[in-house]
Amino acid sequence: MYINTAKKYAPKSISDFIYQSSDADEVINAYASGVIERPLIFHGSNGTGKSLLQRLIPNAIEKREASLHVVKCADLKSADDIHDLYGRNKRFNRTFTINEQRFNYIIIEEFLMTNKKMIDALKIELDETLGTDLTIISTNRFDKIDYGIVSRSEVLGLLPCEPHVFFPHAKKMFEGEGVEVDDAQLLKCLEVTHALKADNRKYYSAIDAMFRKI
Ligand SMILES: Nc1ncnc2c1ncn2[C@@H]1O[C@H](COP(=O)(O)OP(=O)(O)OP(=O)(O)O)[C@@H](O)[C@H]1O
Ligand SMILES: [Mg+2]
């Protein structure tokens, strides 16, 4: 049988997300309460759930599907682009958020910024929009992020899930499809996958392959 498990069984909320560490769980839940206003930086290797959490956290804060402004860092070319991203009419922004949300959400993917003027513009925007806009950044290159940006932010490193941590989620996919699976065989599959490459995406492809054999 053919199943796209990454699509069908992706976590739909922060409570479905598989936390490899309890630190991550705590920080995410603190953000979900809407009390923390500091920008949030996710870093970690490929397939650790950074982009997923960038989308799930706003929904958790708003308790409904949040409206997001998503950009790839590489599409920001100048300091003006940074100011435009946050909107130049700050007086409006300070009073209103889109759809009466708790925050306006600025989601910056694949963060890598080396241009000094852009970095300065971002620092200014992070300060000026604090409390109104919540900026959530993801990157594989945490070592390259300017300290001024790091200093203003909460930093959360994500790790790929260990096989036994991912196991209950994998098991639910088989239950969801009404397919019996041998626990030992499933765990072995996750262990082999993890040993080849520690990347949560690979678990989904390995499970798709198990379904294909059925
Ligand atoms: N902790 C997790 N629990 C459940 N599913 C996860 C988890 N982490 C990642 N996934 C799933 O793995 C896939 C990749 O996740 P995501 O795109 O968030 O990774 P990423 O960290 O942004 O990777 P990259 O650095 O390559 O952009 C998605 O299908 C996502 O649903
Ligand atoms: Mg990503």
DSSP 17: S
The string of pLDDT tens digits covering residues 105-157 is 999 999 999 999 999 999 999 999 999 999 999 999 999 999 999 999 999 99
Determine contact, residues 174/181, Cβ cutoff 8 Å: yes
Determine contact, residues 56/166, Cβ cutoff 8 Å: no
Determine contact, residues 58/134, Cβ cutoff 8 Å: yes
CA 78 to centroid of ligand 2, rounded, Å: 22
CA 180 to centroid of ligand 2, rounded, Å: 32
pLDDT at residue 90 in the model: 62
Ligand 1 atom showing the smallest separation from residue 7 Cα: 29
DSSP 130: B
Parts of the chain with a pLDDT under 50: none
pTM of the entire predicted model? 0.95
Sign of the Cα torsion 94, 97, 103, 109 reads negative
Ligand 1 atom showing the smallest separation from residue 201 Cα: 12
